[in-house]
Amino acid sequence: MNLPGHPHVGYRGTELQVEQLGARELAQRFGTPLYVYSKQSMLDALAPWQRALRGRAHLLCYAMKANSNLAVLQLFAQAGCGFDIVSGGELERVLAVGADPRKIVFSGLGKTRTEMARALQVGVRCFNVESEAELEVLSEVAHGLGRRAPVSLRVNPDVDAKTHPYISTGLKDNKFGIAHERALATYRRAAELPGLEVVGIDCHIGSQITEIAPYLDALERVLDLVEAIEAAGLRLRHVDLGGGLGITYTDEAPPAADVLLAQLLARIDARGHGHRELLFEPGRSLVGNAGVLLSEVLYLKPGVDGGKSFCVVDAAMNDLMRPAMYQATMGIVATTLRDEPPRVYDVVGPVCESGDWLGRDRALAVRQGDVIAVLSAGAYGMSMASNYNSRGRAAEVLVDGAQAHLVRERESAAGLFAGEHLLS
């Protein structure tokens, strides 16, 4: 019995499995907390994007901030993907797996001169520029290296993606992008600068988007600008429509990628832009439901006088920040089904914060020593992990059928302070 939204995570009898391996057995073998990813889930999530774009000039750039493990990057590189990066560190990760720099799009609104120079030296495909000031600096860096930086301006269309305010990026009050009304003038300035080559236009309105309408609204505004920019004598080779497609955590019903793309492509064709190369930057939708976080139940703490009962586990907010940061609701299940009535618990970790919780009011039939699984943990789980309370980061395992590959070792105590120095 597979879990909703998780085609390769489900129960065989009473035991939860990831592909062909038991979750509890993985926890015993590799320890907890433990991130476990299904390889086939990632490939299955990528397939509708590739299928819908077949026959068109396009590039799918995996937004690696969602999950930047080297094995995950390697998997998508081998599947033909490019990459959307937002830092110099992400650039080095992509290069470490042998990805083609010509398939890398460098986004992010705070690029440093050092990051710009490194990206120019390796030959990234495009810089998604987010401010007029950034244009000037990038031109200066590129000109100093005797190069011209290929640029696409990220335009802020002032479209409400109807998502959490922390991950909404397309409204005029968000920090991202160049205001729609300033875009044409900024393109004219970009064309004047000696170190730049204008190649495209970019728009990204947010993350965990579960409706098609915001995408269509943003597309219309972007195509209006494309027409105005080309009427002014500039040529745009590609249109980058970002990513942000959501997944099912609880009861969300986001459109399938091919359904979303069918509507976008129909609108693009209807407006006479079907010849353009298209870029998309999916992240969460490729990896989110491919991952689970396994954690051991340390203690069960019953409530007093009708108060809360707590299921204390060994994973914490440093391992999975989404619930504390976004008040995100993520599925939590027992890895072994017990024939006994569940009790309602707040599932909490050991960190010294009352905000350290993984789930509120969850009905679970668990005992001390059991293992629970936090579902939909493949995106913005390990990539946002920290060492708060001097806790080592979790291990990561990639499951391929009946094989488990350790793709990140558990962080040791010595590793926590390996770069620190005592005073003389």
Spatial distance between the Cα atoms of 1 and 14, rounded to a whole number of angstroms: 10
Identify whether residues 272 and 311 lie together within a single domain: no
Place of tokens 């070792």: 409
Spatial distance between the Cα atoms of 279 and 61, rounded to a whole number of angstroms: 7
What are the DSSP calls for 194-257, one per residue? TTEEEEEEE---BSSB--SHHHHHHHHHHHHHHHHHHHTT----EEE----B---SSS--PPPH
Q: Is 54 annotated as a binding residue?
A: no
Closest CA to 294 of 17, 14, 36: 36
282, 309, 333 - which closes a domain: 282
214, 249, 282 - which closes a domain: 282
Q: Is 276 annotated as a binding residue?
A: no
Residue 51 belongs to some domain of the structure: no
Q: Is 282 annotated as a binding residue?
A: yes
Identify whether residues 275 and 392 lie together within a single domain: no
Identify whether residues 249 and 303 lie together within a single domain: no
Q: How many helices (H) and strands (E) does the chain have?
A: 12, 22
Tell me what pLDDT residue 170 has: 42
Q: Is 420 annotated as a binding residue?
A: no
Identify whether residues 322 and 385 lie together within a single domain: yes
Q: What is the DSSP letter of 394?
A: P
Q: Is 35 annotated as a binding residue?
A: no
Tell me what pLDDT residue 169 has: 47
The number of folded domains in the chain is: 2
264, 282, 300 - which closes a domain: 282
Residue 80 belongs to some domain of the structure: no
Tell me what pLDDT residue 167 has: 41
Q: Is 281 annotated as a binding residue?
A: yes
Query: For residue 231, how far is the Cα from the chain centroid?
Result: 36
Closest CA to 254 of 286, 224, 299, 296: 286
Active site residues: 352
Residue 94 belongs to some domain of the structure: no
3-state secondary structure of 342: coil
Identify whether residues 116 and 215 lie together within a single domain: yes
Q: Is 380 annotated as a binding residue?
A: yes
Contacts of 160 (CB under 8 A, 6+ apart): 168, 170, 171, 214
Identify whether residues 174 and 300 lie together within a single domain: no
Q: Is 192 annotated as a binding residue?
A: no
Tell me what pLDDT residue 254 has: 93
Which residue range(s) make up the domain with 385? 2-38+288-416
Identify whether residues 295 and 240 lie together within a single domain: no
Q: Cβ-count burial of 421 within 10 angstroms (0-12 exposed, 13-18 middle, 19+ buried)? A: exposed
Query: For residue 160, how far is the Cα from the chain centroid?
Result: 20
Identify whether residues 270 and 297 lie together within a single domain: no
Per-residue pLDDT of the chain (424 residues; tens, 9 = 90+): 788 888 899 999 999 999 999 999 999 999 999 999 999 999 999 999 999 999 999 999 999 999 999 999 999 999 999 999 999 999 999 999 999 999 999 999 999 999 999 999 999 999 999 999 999 999 999 999 999 999 999 998 877 655 445 444 444 556 668 988 899 999 999 999 999 999 999 999 888 999 999 899 999 999 999 999 999 999 999 999 999 999 999 989 999 999 999 999 999 999 999 999 999 999 999 999 999 999 999 999 999 888 899 999 999 999 999 999 999 999 999 999 999 999 999 999 999 999 999 999 999 999 999 999 999 999 999 999 999 999 999 999 999 999 999 999 999 999 999 999 999 9
Identify whether residues 23 and 169 lie together within a single domain: no
3-state secondary structure of 421: coil
Q: Is 393 annotated as a binding residue?
A: no
**Beta-strand pair 291-301/371-374:** antiparallel
Cα(first)–Cα(last) distance of the chain, in Å? 60
